[in-house]
Amino acid sequence: MSTVGDMPRNTVSRRIQRSLHGRRRLQLSLVLGLPLLILVVLYLGSLALLLVNAFWSLDPVTSTVRHEWTLDNFVRIATNGVYHVITIRTIGLAALVTVTCAVIGFPVAYYMARIASVRTRRLLLLGVLLPLWASYLVKVFAWRAILQQQGVLNWVLEPLGIKGPGYGDVATWLVFTYLWLPYMITPIYAGLERIPNSMLEASSDLGARSGPTFRRVVLPLAFPAVVAGSIFTFSLTMGDYIAPALVSSTQFLGNVIQREVGTSNNLPLAAALAIIPIIVMIIYLIVARRLGAFEAL
Amino acid sequence: MAATKRRQGALTAGLAIALGLVPSMTVAQSPAAMPVPESALTEVGPGEGALEVVAWAGYVEDGSTSPDLDWVSGFEEATGCQVNVTLGNTSDEMFTLMQTGNYDLVSASGDASNRLITAGSVQPINLNLIPNYADVFEGLKGKPHNTVDGVPYGVPHGRGANLLMYNTDVVTPAPDSWSVVFDTESPYAGKVTAYDSPIYIADAAVYLMATNPELGITNPYALDETQFAAAVDLLKAQRSIIGRYWGLYTDEIAAFQSGDSVLGTTWQVIANVLKDPAAPTPIEAILPKEGATGWSDTWMLSAESKHPNCGYLFMNHIISPEVNAQATEYFGEAPANKLSCALTANPDHCALFHAEDEDYFSKVYFWATPQAQCLDGRTDVTCTDYSAWTQAWTEIKG
């Protein structure tokens, strides 16, 4: 019934468009509303519900959580030396894994970003990302098979007369380095790729050879990317309990938390212990931000 | 109408098949009737059509793992109770699942059973309604991990002991006491192993029962502060000679095969695997003179079970001679039903697992959940509960 030249029909969608027109804040809140709701309510909210347990306690008689405010759990962690030892051990391993991943990952990323031909770069990228397609457990069990007494590593080293590390702390370090290496290589690769060629040309124009160029131009520009990668390796190692349980007998923070929850249902103590890595990571992220890890965002 | 009658007829016939013999239901023919606990079922009606089970892996096989492993489909056909199994990975997971009230049956280990009873998650069982219970070994009846104040809360699935295993080539002379794993001057230091779980504290308590009788320990799961401290100190001292703890039983198999471990606590199934004639490791597993801890899982029925009839039918089914033989042979433990020994695929199964040796099991203290309310009945002291044991275990491992 409408003919060309009539006013557009007053449909529902037209009415909505009209009411939103010019109201930027309303538009923004509608777009961001659902994601923010999911983030705050589902994620942060459930995290808060978990962590509030740290201020409650376990009733030894009924094995259920007593909802009475108490700082007992924190006192216990602060006064019992074993938790300090385990925390330091976990942070130490996380730091060691981070450094190892950076040392191995940087040359690989550098080669991929600046030296390799396009074809080689694609193949290397595939190679770096392929392990991520395999499940975590498959990878850890593969390492169990490699490191065991009659495993591949010992079989390879036998003619040389040396024995592999077997299970233990060295094994844990090896497995974590392997697991998180792609998470270190990828940000460094992205960071190195972003360095414009003109910078390197300018450096050589000013008389610097490849060594000083690398040290004084490339490294500082790539450092934030290394820090970004280290956030992954550090935080993932801090909380992991499966790999240490499968390739060693040592207990880390994750193992203690898992035992408290899984064996004696002591959610309050586990929640209190879980606050330790959260605090460590908050400090780490503040330092990382200072070092420019989030600049590229 | 006719259809309903036919269905009811089929169900009754199914009941008769499932329960074995209809006459055995009458009180006059059964052995001395056991007291019926308050709030327990007084009779088993027709199946409700479904059953939610929480079980350990390998306990309730319905053919999905392997077509040869199926002791559930027959039950489902006979009773109409469709069995839905949820695998529990840890005792605590099972405890939490049962607290939701959404499940009917659980195969509770001793480190969960007492907690389930205290929390009111499971109901007392009228053992008169489970005819196959009459054939359960006497040594498994009325144990503290599933019977409280004389009230039974379930039926046993099987049992096993934690033995002392040693490499016969390396460890001489052959040990007969747990002292070899607690000796801080041990010549095998660095090659001793122990079970990686807080419940292992009870093993230290069993040893102290013999060596330090002045501590007055009568039940290794009922330890007051002093007794507990002594056990923990013993284990902290033991830490210095331990090479590796084992949590997965495959870990211990690998450790003994490679020679990384030569001495330590074990399960019978591990010893049997190591002695496999295809690739034998020179080991022996013995029950030391002080006795040992052990484990026996109990089938328990939820207090909020929506399918109690199916629950009772399944409990009777799982401890029936044929099924118990299949299930315990597959898992690697001694059966609960006396008549199962004649029905195992391997005729030596019961001998290998000492199933009929009551003297052997009389020295075994089955896992029970340590609780603040002392399991040995003492009321003048508070015992350490399992959360205290768990925290102590973190300190022991260091």
pLDDT over 50 at B27, yes or no: no
Q: Are residues B135 and B234 in the same domain?
A: no
pLDDT the model gives residue B24: 42
> B119, B122, B118: which is closest to B103 by C-alpha?
B122
Q: Are residues B131 and B148 in the same domain?
A: yes
pLDDT the model gives residue B30: 47
ipTM of the complex, rounded to two decimals: 0.82
Q: Does B388 touch chain A (CB under 8 A)?
A: yes
Q: Are residues A24 and A119 in the same domain?
A: no
Dihedral of alpha carbons B208, B209, B215, B219, sign: positive
Query: The domain spanning residue A100 has which CATH number?
Result: 1.10.3720.10
Q: Identify whether A72 is part of a domain.
A: no
Distance CA B343, CA B326 (A): 8
CB spacing of B96 vs A263 below 8 angstroms = no
Q: Which candidate from A82, A149, A261 shows the least CB-CB separation from B394?
A: A82
Residue spans of chain A under pLDDT 70: 1-5, 296-297
Q: Which structural domain, as residue segments, surrounds residue A33?
A: 12-45
Q: Are residues B213 and B173 in the same domain?
A: yes
Distance CA A219, CA A102 (A): 12
Q: Identify whether B31 is part of a domain.
A: yes
pLDDT the model gives residue B231: 97
Q: Are residues A159 and A242 in the same domain?
A: yes
Q: Which structural domain, as residue segments, surrounds residue B178?
A: 161-294+376-397
Q: Are residues B240 and B166 in the same domain?
A: yes
CB spacing of B198 vs A263 below 8 angstroms = yes
Q: Are residues B171 and B213 in the same domain?
A: yes
Distance CA A45, CA B23 (A): 60
pLDDT over 60 at B15, yes or no: no
Q: Are residues A27 and A134 in the same domain?
A: no
Q: Are residues B222 and B75 in the same domain?
A: no
Chain A contact probe: residue of B114, B257, B387 with most A CBs at under 10 A: B387
CB spacing of A259 vs B393 below 8 angstroms = yes
Q: Can you tell me the mean pLDDT for B186-213?
A: 94
A151–chain B nearest CA distance, Å: 10
Q: Identify whether A71 is part of a domain.
A: no
B234, B397 contact by CB (below 8 A):
no
Q: Are residues A38 and A144 in the same domain?
A: no
Q: Which residues of A touch B95 (CB under 8 A)?
A: 63, 265
The continuous run of DSSP H or E covering A253 comes out as helix A253-262
pLDDT the model gives residue A111: 95
pLDDT over 50 at B374, yes or no: yes
Q: Which candidate from B244, B387, B390 shows the least CB-CB separation from A249?
A: B244
Rg (CA), chain A: 26
The 10s digit of each residue's pLDDT in B135-145 is: 999 989 998 88
pLDDT the model gives residue A1: 55
pLDDT the model gives residue B96: 85
Using the 8-state DSSP alphabet, how is residue B256 labeled? H
pLDDT the model gives residue A3: 60
A223, A292 contact by CB (below 8 A):
yes
Q: Which residue has the higher pLDDT, B13 or A134?
A: A134
A280, A287 contact by CB (below 8 A):
no
Q: Are residues A191 and A252 in the same domain?
A: yes
Q: Are residues B116 and B40 in the same domain?
A: yes
pLDDT over 50 at B13, yes or no: no
CB spacing of A62 vs B119 below 8 angstroms = yes
Q: Identify whether A60 is part of a domain.
A: no
Q: Are residues A161 and A257 in the same domain?
A: yes
Q: Identify whether B371 is part of a domain.
A: no
Q: Identify whether B305 is part of a domain.
A: yes
Q: Which candidate from B111, B260, B390 shows the least CB-CB separation from A260?
A: B390
Distance CA A193, CA B119 (A): 60
Q: Identify whether A54 is part of a domain.
A: no
Q: Are residues A197 and A126 in the same domain?
A: yes
Give the chain A residue nearest B258 (alpha carbons).
A149
pTM here? 0.82
Q: Are residues A37 and A117 in the same domain?
A: no
CB spacing of A82 vs B395 below 8 angstroms = yes
> A173, A72, A184: which is closest to A129 by C-alpha?
A184
DSSP states of B79-133 as a string?
H--EEEEEE-SSHHHHHHHHHTT--SEEEE-HHHHHHHHHTT-B----GGG-GGG
What is the tally of structural domains in chain A? Answer: 2
CB atoms closer than 10 angstroms to residue A4? 4
Q: Are residues A36 and A96 in the same domain?
A: no
Q: Are residues A141 and A21 in the same domain?
A: no
Q: Are residues B383 and B333 in the same domain?
A: no
Using the 8-state DSSP alphabet, how is residue B320 labeled? S
pLDDT band at B32; cut points 50, 70, 90: low
Residues with Cβ within 8 Å of A232's Cβ and at least 6 positions away in sequence, in order, are A180, A183, A184, A187
CB spacing of A251 vs B397 below 8 angstroms = yes
Q: Does B113 touch chain A (CB under 8 A)?
A: no
CB spacing of B398 vs A85 below 8 angstroms = yes
Q: Identify whether A221 is part of a domain.
A: yes
Q: What are phi and psi of B384, to 5 degrees?
A: -75, 135
A285–chain B nearest CA distance, Å: 29
Q: Which residue has the higher pLDDT, B155 or A1?
A: B155
B369–chain A nearest CA distance, Å: 10
Give the chain A residue nearest B195 (alpha carbons).
A249
Q: Are residues A39 and A144 in the same domain?
A: no
Using the 8-state DSSP alphabet, how is residue B222 labeled? -
What is the tally of structural domains in chain B? Answer: 2
Q: Are residues A17 and A152 in the same domain?
A: no
Distance CA A48, CA A29 (A): 24
Q: Are residues B82 and B112 in the same domain?
A: yes
pLDDT over 80 at B16, yes or no: no
pLDDT the model gives residue A2: 55
The 10s digit of each residue's pLDDT in B214-260 is: 999 999 999 999 999 999 999 999 999 998 899 888 889 989 998 88
Q: Are residues B85 and B36 in the same domain?
A: yes
Beta strand B158-167 pairing with B154-156: unpaired
pLDDT over 80 at B274, yes or no: yes
Give the chain B residue nearest A254 (alpha carbons).
B394
Q: Are residues B289 and B342 in the same domain?
A: no
Q: Identify whether A231 is part of a domain.
A: yes
Q: Are residues B240 and B383 in the same domain?
A: yes
Query: The domain spanning residue B339 has which CATH number?
Result: 3.40.190.10
Q: Does B281 touch chain A (CB under 8 A)?
A: no
Give the chain B residue nearest A80 (alpha carbons).
B395
Q: What are phi and psi of B285, to 5 degrees?
A: -125, 125
CB spacing of A265 vs B259 below 8 angstroms = no
